[in-house]
Structure 1
């Protein structure tokens, strides 16, 4: 079964299109084809104007401060080495009061050797030459790094000696990721990543001014939706000089640090707000804390036997856990999720701000999950499977998989409402009452039969499967409760497996084959006859959903 997109679901009111399916209601009519007109006829329709100066189909260079961020790390390393070797000389120059140290109190300064042999000018000249060579290389790299945004694709060319040309077709765009690292934010810059459909298919635009990055992202999403760029370009004449561009970027970056991020283009504003106390408590009440407590107990027991190895394990371990807690909490700060005309916008991060708009039809699976320690508070998290476009060697977790890190039931309803607006009232009942909170009386899900309850001793009643008109629902877990929602139009295929133990118990495992990710897409210990029926229903529903889907170009 191919990878189709879901049928359009009629959202209530003027809801923007969702990544789970549907087509935009504000599609613009296609532009008239440009071409030569016969004599006496109306002139050919000119190319429509664009929002961003970069989106005119011509080749452009990135921001002039790009070499500082892409190659500045090398300069910082060189400066660090020089400062490390000149530490005594710097202390003597700037803090002469503290230079009376006992003999052997500090290691010998290599600069003394340069002074004693009259090599200081030569060393300074070599260092200056290295810096100049690096600056020239950075400058050449910037001049040969260009981008072009056309009506059908985004292209990037880079490299001086070895040229690289990357192209991302707009009809295969899975999302546009805008990241503002801390140093880039101080300079008013951001990097844009166009997420492609395939391994190592992303196209990175680093770096751009924050204003240009936002405009380019909007242009790419509008072109990917099937619309032409109809907004008029701001009247600004020719582009300003490189020095002026750099000064304006730094000024806007510092102002942005003071004012915070501008989310005025997300309509409406974030539909979920995560209080700081809830965010911190959710990280404390997690599996990592249980592991930390177990390690502390083990260390206390081992300390009574030996203490030497603790010096090499305790401090690094606590530093690692501390870094994990700080990073996870900082990542959840400034969290925002909101529908936009081009999809769902998810933003998070305190030091490094990450923002991505997921267009319609790009979410392949959704999972609502609740750990045991969150249950008394009624907290849940929501994750999705989507194409990340990263290389196969990149084993890092998808940072945008958790579209709701922590939230109440009302928050979960709002998030699912924008990711799956096409669900009917009956299907919402199957998702919330019977799926997330179930099972209840007259459970519509097919579950583990009594004869096989030993395969799921705690969750055999909750372990269930259901196929609706639009989705494949998988309910599982007693300690970690979860519900997976697989849109039928996103299914690439449906699998049915039965091992020797399952054959003896008369059960089978049903798997929905979609894009790999954090969402669990299989469920086992289902009665064999029920599994065969659900397998057939999912196969028929997937074919029907693929035939009626129109979210490939959601505004076309």
Structure 2
């Protein structure tokens, strides 16, 4: 069993997590609970330990007068030792290894668990750095794999190791193999030792006392390193071309939150409460206004901080989405992991011409952070949408396809789309002109909505199934509904009203194209040569 070292985590050996993991995963909570218990229940504790039914005055003072204070201290110390030993044992038993095909994690003391994730099934890698963990130079490493509850988590790794491990894992998952010269591993380890030099230098100096100035300099260097990490941008400018980076100005982010549907509901509720208060129902103020105001502030603050410093860019490892101010997170999606894309525009955003992009991705439907992991662009302009779509699906970057996407967003009808016929207006009185579909060489495009505009893009290779259906009303109007099924997520790909003959022909054509696209898809090993020979991947 070895400690993690930069550049040496994919050697197939078992490694342990960051030494501060016990503290970050629950040590602080243990201390806080013990402090709360001692502060609020010490009288009952003393009564239970020493069998004194009535203790006048301060219980600890009484225990001191009876010569039993030492036992109370022993109880507290034993509880602390048990907690520390438990966390340490949990850390010792929690290990991981990365091989050529799988990532494995073992954990547990009494009940052991062993999780395995196939590299060719990886859907994305997320690295989060909570504020408290950043003070220790630690990061949480999550590997999302196709399947329900299939996430593999390493909490916590050294922050620099997490970035290196992400690159190495994705290189292995891509089918490529990095060609490294014999001197490269030594250079990598030397660089890693240099990065952690303050930690290494402090130990011998503190033990021997031979070089106090060196120890002080090492401590100062460690502090400076942590300050640089806290102030550094979430996305390193050197790993992504500037023209591929999309960012959200804070002013636009604030305005989009103010012009959201939540604000409309909040205003309506506030109006009802105010009217009720004017009519004498003042209890509404206490029971609705105050809790509602606190909930609204929490909602806006959470959405703002989750999208602050938001960026999406093309990196050598895949499309990377990052956000956060004090606590930062980033999610890297390898090629071919996007199952559906939805570009939508709420009514209040239409004057500003802003749009939102969400996606369906395998392994994200059941995650607690699904809202974050499926939102690729919280709010952006048409140019931002074009750029993000080109990053997510490079096949949409062509000139003709860009014009088709723009038409799907803004054109009232036609413009390359097969729209619903006029007889569909009883079902879609306002949006029947915008209800339709189009095709490219590798994707299906569906558009709908007049008040809330939607454009859905589904890659042919990611389609799970197709459905054409016709209820009594649709049969009366000689219409059908087309649905394109993908993995579970916020995006639903369907067009509600299409001419029967046209929709049937599209269903048959798409069925054949989906089979052909699926059989030729190689995105599970996106860097592997067609003949199976691995390509070379340079070190970052």
Per the normalisation by structure 2, the TM-score is 0.84
- Report if the CA contact (8 A) 1:506-1:528 is conserved: yes
Q: What SS does the corresponding residue of 2:434 show, helix, strand or coil?
A: coil
1:262 positional shift: 5.2
Equivalent in the alignment of 1:69: 24
1:116 positional shift: 6.5
Equivalent in the alignment of 2:400: 426
1:250 to 1:174, Cα distance in 2 relative to 1, 3 A: farther
State the distance in 2 between where 1:379 and 1:495 align.
32
Equivalent in the alignment of 1:90: none
State the distance in 1 between where 2:509 and 2:400 align.
18
The one-character-per-residue Cα deviations of 1:458-491 (angstroms, maximum 9, x if unpaired) are 1111111223321111101111111000011110
1:366 positional shift: 0.9
1:199 positional shift: 0.6
Q: What SS does the corresponding residue of 2:484 show, helix, strand or coil?
A: strand
Q: What SS does the corresponding residue of 2:433 show, helix, strand or coil?
A: coil
1:109 positional shift: 6.8
Equivalent in the alignment of 1:354: 329
Equivalent in the alignment of 1:60: 15
- Report if the CA contact (8 A) 1:383-1:518 is conserved: yes
State the distance in 2 between where 1:235 and 1:525 align.
61
1:275 positional shift: 1.1
1:385 positional shift: 0.9
Question: Matches of residues 234-313 of structure 1 in structure 2 within 5 Å?
Answer: 234-236=188-190, 244=200, 252-261=225-234, 263-264=236-237, 266-269=239-242, 271-303=245-277, 304-313=279-288
Equivalent in the alignment of 1:500: 472
State the distance in 2 between where 1:220 and 1:400 align.
19
1:414 and 2:414 correspond:
no
- Report if the CA contact (8 A) 2:199-2:222 is conserved: no
1:145 and 2:94 correspond:
yes
Equivalent in the alignment of 2:123: 174
1:225 positional shift: 0.5
State the distance in 2 between where 1:258 and 1:469 align.
44
- What is the root-mean-square deviation in Å for CA atoms of aligned residues? 2.6
Equivalent in the alignment of 1:376: 351
1:431 positional shift: 1.3
1:226 and 2:201 correspond:
no
Equivalent in the alignment of 1:156: 105
**Structure ranking higher in helix proportion:** 2
Question: Matches of residues 60-209 of structure 1 in structure 2 within 5 Å?
Answer: 60-72=15-27, 73-83=29-39, 111=60, 114=63, 119-209=68-158
1:317 positional shift: 1.2
State the distance in 2 between where 1:378 and 1:262 align.
27
Equivalent in the alignment of 1:18: none
The one-character-per-residue Cα deviations of 1:61-94 (angstroms, maximum 9, x if unpaired) are 11110000112222222234435569xxxxxxxx
Bigger RCO (CA 8 Å, 6+ sep): 1
State the distance in 1 between where 2:356 and 2:267 align.
23
1:281 positional shift: 0.2
The one-character-per-residue Cα deviations of 1:246-275 (angstroms, maximum 9, x if unpaired) are 989876434311334351453214621211
Equivalent in the alignment of 1:47: none
Q: What are structure 2's unaligned runs of at least 5 residues?
A: 43-56, 204-218, 529-540
1:448 positional shift: 2.4
- Report if the CA contact (8 A) 2:364-2:374 is conserved: no
State the distance in 2 between where 1:371 and 1:243 align.
51
Per the normalisation by structure 1, the TM-score is 0.81
1:243 positional shift: 6.8
Equivalent in the alignment of 2:373: 400
Q: What SS does the corresponding residue of 2:330 show, helix, strand or coil?
A: strand
- Report if the CA contact (8 A) 2:342-2:357 is conserved: yes
Q: What SS does the corresponding residue of 1:398 show, helix, strand or coil?
A: helix
State the distance in 2 between where 1:395 and 1:59 align.
28
Q: What SS does the corresponding residue of 2:432 show, helix, strand or coil?
A: coil
State the distance in 2 between where 1:110 and 1:330 align.
46
Question: Matches of residues 462-477 of structure 1 in structure 2 within 5 Å?
Answer: 462-477=434-449
Q: What SS does the corresponding residue of 2:296 show, helix, strand or coil?
A: helix
- Report if the CA contact (8 A) 1:51-1:219 is conserved: no
1:113 positional shift: 6.0
Of 112-121 and 58-67, more deviation after overlay is shown by 112-121
Equivalent in the alignment of 1:525: 497
1:396 positional shift: 5.7
Q: What are structure 1's unaligned runs of at least 5 residues?
A: 1-49, 87-107
1:311 positional shift: 1.9
Number of positions where the alignment pairs a residue of Structure 1 with one of Structure 2 = 483
